[in-house]
Amino acid sequence: MSDLPFGIDFGGTGIKGAPINLETGEFAQERVRIRTPAKSVPDAIAKIFVELLGHFPDSSGPVGVTVPGIVQHGVVRSAANIDKSWKGTDADRLFTEATGRDVHVVNDADAAGLAEARYGAAKGHGGLVIVTTLGTGIGSALLYDGVLVPNTELGHLEIDGKDAESRAANSARERDDLSFKEWAKRLQKYYRTLERLFSPDLFVVGGGISKESDKFLPLLDLDTEIVPATLLNTAGAVGAALYAVEHSQD
């Protein structure tokens, strides 16, 4: 049996998981992906997790799971982009009982932030680091000297009377058919607002669009260094596994 931690990235279209080698921040075995069911209620997702873990019979370590919502002490407190039945669900308890494993749930952006701080673009960087994921919305993770301040939800800052992510997320770029130059003007305002509020030492920009960061990051004029994330689509699972190990020792 392997006591390596297991990371599960629970997304809107797919649920991906693998054992994680925390020395390297890489998958210890090839990940398995299962399509997210149309009715993604907690009990249905728990069954998928049991199936997913069944592909790795030698795995026995703690399990970390990303959730696209606010998570407080294992309880999901928001459900903006998942089934409303998640709100108020003690996901740690539900998944631990369903799988027979020690399961810990973490906000998806927070998981990505932990991974980038330990293994990626923010590795070895002290002070205040803000990791943002530009996708359907804007996820955020706030880390000070590598320590996570959870559930910051900085995509929901109000800027010019609007929810920031409704104007600056990658989905807004696609919706409004913006060029990268036009989108960069919105990002400029968003990151300048974060600068004024937090005076960070580093911005890390993740999300799938970060693969094209050379098309928009050089257009931003900020006082803070801003760099693309490096772990890309592995960050969620890796960060979740890291979170699970840290909290299984509590």
pLDDT of residue 6 exceeding 80: yes
- Mean pLDDT over 213-240 rounds to 96
- The domains of the chain, with CATH numbers, are 6-110+234-248 (3.30.420.40), 123-229 (3.30.420.40)
Checking DSSP bridges between strand 14-21 and strand 26-27, what pairing results, if any?
antiparallel
| pLDDT at 72 (0 to 100) | 94
Tokens in use for 117? 């701080």
Does residue 80 have a pLDDT over 60? yes
Residue 250 has a pLDDT of 56
What does the alpha-carbon distance between residue 205 and residue 14 come to, in Å, rounded to a whole number?
22
Give percent helix, percent strand, percent coil of the chain, each to the nearest 5.
40, 25, 35
| H or E element at residue 49 | helix 42-54
pLDDT tens figures, 129-173? 999 999 989 999 999 999 999 999 999 999 999 999 999 999 999
Reported as a pLDDT band with limits 50, 70 and 90, residue 16 is very high
Tens of pLDDT, residues 193-223:
999 999 999 999 999 899 999 999 999 999 9
Q: Is the model's pLDDT at 2 over the cut of 90? A: no
